[in-house]
Amino acid sequence: METLPPTLNLLFRSSLESAPSFRSPRVSLLRRFFIGCRFVASAAGGFCAGAEDSLLSFINGKMKATDVAHSIWKIVIRGGDTVVDATCGNGYDTIALLKLVADDSRRGCVHGLDIQSSALENTCYLLRESVAEKQRELVKLHLLCHSRMEDILPKDAAVRLIAFNLGYLPAGDKAIITKPHTTLFALQAASRIIASGGLISIVIYIGHPGGREELEAVLSFASSLAVEGWNCFKFETANRSTGPVLVFIIKK
């Protein structure tokens, strides 16, 4: 059986108009794509058919990059886990993480960080509107840069997943963006606290000034990780230069 490399970079086109049948001439492209999806799932310790469906919807232009990330999170996160939303934004990732860690044990915890008070206010509003009070108690929000995530986590915390959604706050001030140097510090911190089998999930938006530089910083970091301890994956659209890029970093 052919062995796939630990670092897998899949470039794919998003111009497919509909999901092809497996008799289609495009089957080889999809087969390679799904092999990549299964390898991500295998590296993360499981498989979820929904992740494969999400990735197909993504290449057909029917699903956002963040939704694909959410489908991968379902493979990794278990009820009772501790996770980090490193860039709360308007709270949609926070909600998705909360629904995955919340269970009867009441041990799950979502730590959410953002440097903008408006982002935390939006997240609080979404939490009040979307989930019950008992679940909201599992969320701890911090007005803090993602590079300082270690400051707010217990020393013995086993963090299962750390999510980054890089760029600017949707419907917010587009001049306030995540920066390559602080994101690099944040990724270094994330690599120190993520548990074995855990995932660092990154969605990078590159259509704004500074976005391309931030992508280069993320990829440089991922490329520097030793293959003995890490699996790193990148998904991007080959014919859309400003499309979002998905990066998954899994600690062995």
Within a domain: residue 66? no
User: Which has the higher per-residue pLDDT, 240 or 101?
Assistant: 101
Residue 233: strand pairing partners: 8, 248
In sequence order, the 6+-apart residues with CB closer than 8 A to the CB of 156 are none
Q: Looking at this protein, which amino acid is placed at residue 45? A: G
pLDDT score recorded for residue 32: 46
- Give a yes or no: residue 214 inside a domain: yes
Asked if residue 29 is part of any domain, the answer here is no
Q: What is the pTM of this model?
A: 0.82
CA gap 131, 45 in Å, rounded: 29
Q: Per the domain annotation, does 13 fall within a domain?
A: no
Q: What pLDDT is stored for residue 39 in this prediction?
A: 55
60 domain residue, yes or no:
no
Strand extents, DSSP E, the chain: 7-12, 82-85, 109-114, 139-143, 159-166, 194-204, 230-237, 245-251
Average pLDDT value for residue range 2-23:
35
User: Is residue 130 in a domain?
Assistant: yes
- Break the chain down into helix, strand, coil percent, rounded to 5: 40, 25, 35
Q: What is the pLDDT of residue 125?
A: 97
> Mind listing the pLDDT tens digit for each residue in 178-191?
999 999 999 999 99
Looking at the domain assignment, is residue 9 inside a domain?
no
- Model confidence pLDDT, tens digit, residues 26-73: 444 445 445 555 555 555 555 455 677 777 777 777 788 999 899 999
Q: 156 lies in which domain range?
A: 76-251
- The answer to whether the CB of 131 falls within 8 A of the CB of 95 is yes
What gap in Å lies between CA 41 and CA 58, rounded to an integer? 17
Nearest to 202 by CA among 68, 7, 47, 98: 68
Identify the CATH number of the domain in which residue 222 sits.
3.40.50.150
Asked whether residue 7 is assigned to any structural domain, the reply reads: no
Phi/psi of residue 198, nearest 5 degrees: -85, 170
Residue 156 confidence class, pLDDT cut points 50, 70, 90: confident
Domain count across the chain:
1
